[in-house]
Structure 1
Amino acid sequence: MGNQGPFDMVIQEEEITRYQRAVSRLIGKLDRRLIPFLALLEIARFGFQVAIGHALLTTFKSDLNLTIEENNWTTSAFFIAYLIFAIPSSLILRLLGTTRYLSLSLISWGAITIGMAFVTNARQVIILRFFLGMVIAGYFPGIITYFSLWYPKREQIMRIAIFCTATFASGALVGILAYASSKMNGIANLKSWQWLFLLPGLPVIPIGIMTYLALGSIPETVQWLDNSEKQFLTNLLRQDSGMANSERASDSLLSWRQVWYVFVDWRMYLYATIIIGDLGGIKCLMTSLPSIMKGLHYSIEEAHLMTIIPYLISCFTILLGGYSSSRRNEHAYHHAFFLCLGILGCILMITLEERGKLVMYVSVCIACCGTFSALSILWSWLTNNVGGNTKRTVAVGMMSGIGQIGAIIQPQVFGGEVKPVSRRDHTIASGFLVGALIMTLILRYCLIMENRRRQYLSDDDYNREAAIEEPCDWHPDNRYVL
C-alpha cells in the first residue's frame, strides 16, 4: 500500500465508485419491485385495526347491544390471540416460506373482516376478532424479516421506515373510509359500521392471491433479477451479515437451535420491555384517537376526518427519522428522541386540556409524531442486531406478540365508551413511553459493554465462542449496532 502511486489510487477510487453505483442500481431495482407492493399489503392489514376505533362512533354498539365490558373485550380478544399465536405463527412462516404464509394470511383475514360486517351479537364479534388476531399474528413479523432477506442492514432502516409510513398512512385512509361509510348508511340495507368493515375487507382476498403470484421469496428464486444480479445481491448480503448469518440462505429452513437461542438471549427481553412501552403508547393513541376528536366537540363525521392529519404528519416524521438513522447508522438515540417527543405530546394533552380545540389538537399531533416514529426505528434496530434467519423471524414474532400486552390492557383501562379521554388516560399512555425510554438507554449501555467485551477477548475465549454451532449474532466477530 505504501508503494502505490497516484495512478493506482485513482484506479482504486474508480473501482469503489463503480461498485457503489452498482449497489445503488441494484437497491433501486429492489425498491421499485418490492416497496410499493409491501406498502399496499400493510395498508390493507392495518386499516382494519384502526377501523374498530371508528366503529365506536357509529351505531355499532347499540345495534349489537354491547355492554361496556363486552365492547372492551372485542378489542382485547384480537390482541390476546395475537400474543398467543405470535411465536407459533413465526415457526409456521419459516416452514411455509414468506410468500405462501402471507398469501394465506391475507385471504383468511379478508374473509374474517367481511364476516365482521354481518355479526349480530357480542359473542360473534369476540370470536371473529380472536380468529383475526390468530391469522394475522405472523404477518407483521414476516414482512419485517422479509426485508432482511433482500436488503443490507443499513438499507433496511429506511425501508422499514417507509413500510411503517404505510402503516400509519392507512390510519388516514381509514379516516376517509369512515367518513365515506357514514354517508353510505342504508345503501344495500347495510348500516354505516357494516360498510366500515366491508370497504377495507373486500380488497384483501384478491390482494392475497396477487401476493402468491407476484411476491418473490428469496433473491435466488425470482425471475426479475438476472443471474449476475442474483449473485451480486447474494454476495452483498453475505458480506454485510458476516458470521451472523452462517446458515444456508433459505426462506423456509427452520433451525430449532436458533429458536432456542431466542429464549435464552437476555437482549431479547430488553427489546421486549421496550416494545411493550412503544406499542402500549401507540395502541392508546390509535384506538382512542376518534374518541379524542369527538371529545373536542366535533361531529361524528368531523371526528372521522380530523384523525387524518395526525397520521399524515406522523408519516413525514417517520421518514425523516428513518433517513437520519440510516445516514448515521444509529438507533438508540433516535428512538429515545422520538419517545421524548411522544412524552411531551402526552404531557401537553394532560396540562393544556382546557386551552381549546387547537391547542389540544396540536398536542395530539405531537404525541402521534413521536410515538409512531419511534416504532420503525425500534424494528430496524432489532433486525439489524439479531443474526440468523430463523432467530430473526422468531425474535420479531416474539417481540410483536409480547408488545400486544399493552394493547390488551388498553381497552380495559381506557374503556369502550365514546367519551373525552381523561388526564388519567394520557398519564397511562405517557407511562408506557417513559418505561420504553428508560429501557432503551439501558439496552444501549448493555450493547456497548458487550461490544467492548468481544473486542478484548483472549484467544481461548475467542476460539470457544467462535466454535458455537450456528452462532448467529453471538459470534465474537459480530458487533451490535447502537
Structure 2
Amino acid sequence: MGHATNLGLNRDIILSTAEDDWSVALIYLGYFIFAVPSALLILYMGTTIYLTIILLVWGSLSIGMGFVKNVPLLLALRFLLGMTIAGFFPGISYFISSCSWYSGFRHRENGWNWWSRELAMALYFIGIPVVLLGIATFLFLDKISNPLRFLQPAEREILINNLCDEMEPDANEPEEKHYVQWCDIYSVLSSGKIWLFAAICVGNSAVTKYWIAYFPSLVKYIGYIDASESLMSSPPYASACVFALVGGLSAARFNGHGYHMVVFDIISVIGFALMAAFEGSSKVAVYVSGCFACSGAYAAFALLMAWLTINVSGRIRRTLAISFVVGLGQIGGVIIPFINDKSSVPDFHRIHITLASLMFVSMILTLLLLVIFNRQAKFRMENQLQVDEEANNVQCAELFVIG
C-alpha cells in the first residue's frame, strides 16, 4: 500500500485515516486468521493443487484491486488477499522439505487520472505474473523430481544415497504417515518454545510490514519523488538480501542461528535508533540507517525460520509450526498502521522508536530461547554420558565375571 498511496490511491478512493489504517492491517489480519487452516489444507490437498489455487487467486485479487471503485471493496479485497497468501510460505516450505534433494539439509474506479492509471498498471503487473506462476505450478511442479543435474551421475548418486540415509523417519512420525492428527496440532500449540518463536516473529514482522507499507512514504519525505522514489526504495532490500545470505551461510557453518539472530537484532535496533535520532537533521543519515535497520530485521527473520525448522521434527509438525509462527507474527503487521503517524507533516520518530523497542524485545526473547536450547543440550549430553558410563561399567563387570 506504500507505493499505491504515493501513486494517488487516496485521491481516487477517498480514505479516512482509519480506513487507510485498516487497508494496511486487514491483509495481515486475514493472514493471521487463515495461517494454520491454510497449513491443514496444504497437507490434505497437496502442494501442487493448493499452490496453484492460491497463486491464481492471489494474482486475480491483485489484478482486481486495479478496478476498485470504493472503500468497502478495497477493504474486502485486502482481507481476502491476506487469507490467500497465508498459505504460500508454508506451502513452499512443505514442498522443499518434501524434496529428497533438500530434506537432508533441513533446511518467501473507472476513469483513473494519470496517477491512477499508473497505479492500475502497477497492480496489473503484480497480478498477471502471479497468475502465470500459478499455471506453471500446476503444469510443472510435480515434474521437479531431481534438479541436481549440475552434478555428475556418480556425485548425484552418492549425495542422494547420503540424503536417504539422513531421512530415516523418527519415532514420532512413521514413514507411512502423511495425514494430520490432533496430536500434531496439540504438540505445536502446547510447546512453549514454539510460542517463543512466535513472539520473536511478532517483532520481526512489525518491521517487515512497516517497510513494505510505509518506507516508500519515508523515501518521499526524504526528498525523492516519482521514479527516484521507487528506485531508492530498492537498496535496503538489496542489502537485506546480502545480510541474509551471509548470515545464513555463517549460521549454517558454525551452527549458531540464535547467536547470529542476536547480532542482526542489535544491528536493527541501532539502525532504528539512529533513524529516530537523525530525523530532521540529516535525511541521508536516516536513509543509510534505514538500510541497516531493514537488513538486520530481514536477516534475523530468515534465520528465525531456519532455526525453527531445525528444531521441529517431522514434515507435518514443521509445516504446522511454520504456519503458526508466521501467522501469529502477523500481529505485528496489524498493529503497526495504528502506531504510525500519517499527518500532513509526517513524524516518523515515534514509529522508529517503537520498532527499535520491538526488535530489542525480540533480541531478549532470542537470548531466552538460546538459554533454553543450551540447557536442553547440556541435559542431553549429561544423560548420554551417564548412559555410556553405565554401559562401560556393565561391560567391565561382564569381563570380570568371565575372567
Tell me whether 1:397 sits opposite 2:329 in the alignment: no
CA distance in 1, matches of 2:103, 2:320: 18
Equivalence for 1:283: 209
Tell me whether 1:94 sits opposite 2:20 in the alignment: no
Q: 1:373-412 residue pairs with structure 2 within 5 A?
A: 373-412=299-338
- State the SS of the aligned residue for 1:243: coil
Equivalence for 2:21: 72
Equivalence for 2:81: 132
1:239 corresponds to which of 158, 166, 176: 166
Structure 1 residue 254 displacement after superposition: 2.5
Structure 1 residue 247 displacement after superposition: 2.3
Structure 1 residue 332 displacement after superposition: 0.5
Note closer, same or farther for the CA distance 1:104–1:140 as it changes in structure 2 (3 Å cut).
same
Tell me whether 1:196 sits opposite 2:122 in the alignment: yes
2:183 corresponds to which of 257, 263, 277: 257
Structure 1 residue 234 displacement after superposition: 6.8
Note closer, same or farther for the CA distance 1:104–1:360 as it changes in structure 2 (3 Å cut).
same
Equivalence for 1:103: 52
CA contact (8 A) 2:2 2:213 kept: yes
Structure 1 residue 144 displacement after superposition: 2.3
Note closer, same or farther for the CA distance 1:74–1:396 as it changes in structure 2 (3 Å cut).
same
CA distance in 2, matches of 1:217, 1:394: 25
Structure 1 residue 456 displacement after superposition: 3.7
Structure 1 residue 350 displacement after superposition: 1.2
- State the SS of the aligned residue for 1:117: helix
CA contact (8 A) 2:169 2:175 kept: no
CA contact (8 A) 2:96 2:103 kept: no
CA contact (8 A) 2:205 2:332 kept: yes
CA distance in 2, matches of 1:458, 1:233: 30
Structure 1 residue 432 displacement after superposition: 1.2
Equivalence for 2:175: 248
- State the SS of the aligned residue for 2:364: helix
Corresponding letter in the other structure for 1:101: Y
Structure 1 residue 323 displacement after superposition: 1.3
Corresponding letter in the other structure for 2:20: N
What TM-score results when the alignment is normalised by the length of structure 2? 0.86
Q: Give the root-mean-square deviation of aligned CA atoms.
A: 3.1
Equivalence for 1:464: none
CA distance in 2, matches of 1:275, 1:196: 30
Note closer, same or farther for the CA distance 1:241–1:105 as it changes in structure 2 (3 Å cut).
same
Identity score, percent: 32
Tell me whether 1:363 sits opposite 2:289 in the alignment: yes
Structure 1 residue 286 displacement after superposition: 2.7
After superposing the two structures, state which structure 1 stretch, 69-78 or 143-152, moved more: 143-152
CA distance in 2, matches of 1:208, 1:119: 23
Equivalence for 2:339: 413
Structure 1 residue 152 displacement after superposition: 5.4
CA contact (8 A) 2:31 2:85 kept: yes
Tell me whether 1:271 sits opposite 2:220 in the alignment: no
Structure 1 residue 357 displacement after superposition: 2.5
Structure 1 residue 419 displacement after superposition: 5.1
1:309 corresponds to which of 235, 239, 243: 235
CA distance in 1, matches of 2:5, 2:273: 26
Note closer, same or farther for the CA distance 1:438–1:367 as it changes in structure 2 (3 Å cut).
same
CA deviation profile, 1:364-389 (whole Å, cap 9, x unmatched): 11111111111111110001110011
CA distance in 2, matches of 1:103, 1:149: 17
CA distance in 2, matches of 1:384, 1:418: 46
CA distance in 1, matches of 2:104, 2:280: 44
Tell me whether 1:338 sits opposite 2:338 in the alignment: no
CA deviation profile, 1:311-335 (whole Å, cap 9, x unmatched): 1122111111111112112200111
Structure 1 residue 135 displacement after superposition: 1.3
Equivalence for 1:179: none
What TM-score results when the alignment is normalised by the length of structure 1? 0.73
- State the SS of the aligned residue for 2:281: coil
CA deviation profile, 1:423-473 (whole Å, cap 9, x unmatched): 111011111101110000000110111222233449999xxxxxxxxxxxx
Structure 1 residue 287 displacement after superposition: 1.7
Note closer, same or farther for the CA distance 1:77–1:455 as it changes in structure 2 (3 Å cut).
same
- State the SS of the aligned residue for 1:191: helix
1:432 corresponds to which of 333, 358, 362: 358
After superposing the two structures, state which structure 1 stretch, 116-125 or 259-268, moved more: 259-268
Equivalence for 2:395: none
CA contact (8 A) 2:103 2:163 kept: no
Structure 1 residue 418 displacement after superposition: 7.0
Note closer, same or farther for the CA distance 1:78–1:356 as it changes in structure 2 (3 Å cut).
same
Unaligned runs of 5+ in 2: 388-403
Structure 1 residue 233 displacement after superposition: 3.1
1:351 corresponds to which of 277, 283, 293: 277
CA distance in 2, matches of 1:104, 1:230: 35
CA contact (8 A) 2:207 2:294 kept: no
CA contact (8 A) 1:106 1:207 kept: yes
- State the SS of the aligned residue for 1:65: coil
